[in-house]
Amino acid sequence: MPIREATMADAEGIAIVHVDCWRTTYKDIMPSDFLDNLSYGQRKELWKKNISSDGNYVYVAENNEGKIVGFISGGKREKNIVKDSGDLTSIYILGNFQRMGIGKELIKELFFKFDELGFKTIFVEVLEDNKSRYFYEAFGAELLKNEKIKMAGAELNLLVYEWKDISPELL
């Protein structure tokens, strides 16, 4: 599966993957009315902004027909004050394309970029009930902290993981 840097033309495809993945990933975690009201159009605008934002890096995975089936984004969150560090802010892959190595390839691509930028530590936030946390653990992320958050009217546990060595060859 080809992995490449996202362009503005990819915003719609990324939005579709984002919304569809949220609806499946968070089905039993977040209120259904919140998930039902997610909008492809709103997410498309969000991704146009994300793709064009300086310091934000977005990569997509395509199937053989050139359709976006997954994406990853990262950079440095405003609240991140740790020197030489960055954040993996999102990674989503459509269900039919999971467990094919796409996630690993997406992380490698982003970590190559982070390595170029001189980032030594990478953080990722994930809801405790989201099984993708095991994906991060499998790639060497270690649990740093756990905090309560409110999202979509629900109180949830947010886990913060970190990678202390992001050498892409370790993946």
Q: How far is CA 131 from CA 59, 89, 90, 128, 134, in A?
A: 22, 16, 14, 8, 6
Q: How far is CA 117 from CA 53, 89, 111, 167, in A?
A: 16, 16, 10, 12
What number of H helices and E strands is found in the chain?
5, 7
Domain ranges for the chain:
3-170
Answer yes or no: is pLDDT of 169 > 70.
no
Answer yes or no: is pLDDT of 166 > 80.
no
* pLDDT score for 53: 93
* pLDDT score for 15: 97
* pLDDT score for 152: 82
Helices in the chain by DSSP H: which ranges? Answer: 11-25, 32-36, 40-52, 102-116, 133-138
Q: What is the pLDDT of residues 108-157, one digit of tens each?
A: 999 999 999 999 999 999 999 998 899 999 888 999 999 999 888 888 99
Confidence tier at 81 by pLDDT (50, 70, 90): confident
Confidence tier at 165 by pLDDT (50, 70, 90): confident
Q: Would you list the DSSP string of 98-115?
A: TTSSHHHHHHHHHHHHHH
Q: What is the pLDDT of residues 18-76, one digit of tens each?
A: 999 999 998 988 888 899 999 999 999 999 999 999 999 999 999 999 999 999 999 99
Q: What CATH number matches the domain at 3-170, 3.30.360.10, 3.40.50.620, 3.40.720.10, 3.40.630.30?
A: 3.40.630.30
Average pLDDT over residues 73-89: 92
* pLDDT score for 82: 87
Task: For helices 11-25 and 40-52, give the axis angle rounded to 10 degrees.
Answer: 120
Answer yes or no: is pLDDT of 168 > 70.
no
Q: Give the separation between CA 47 and CA 41, rounded to whole angstroms.
A: 10
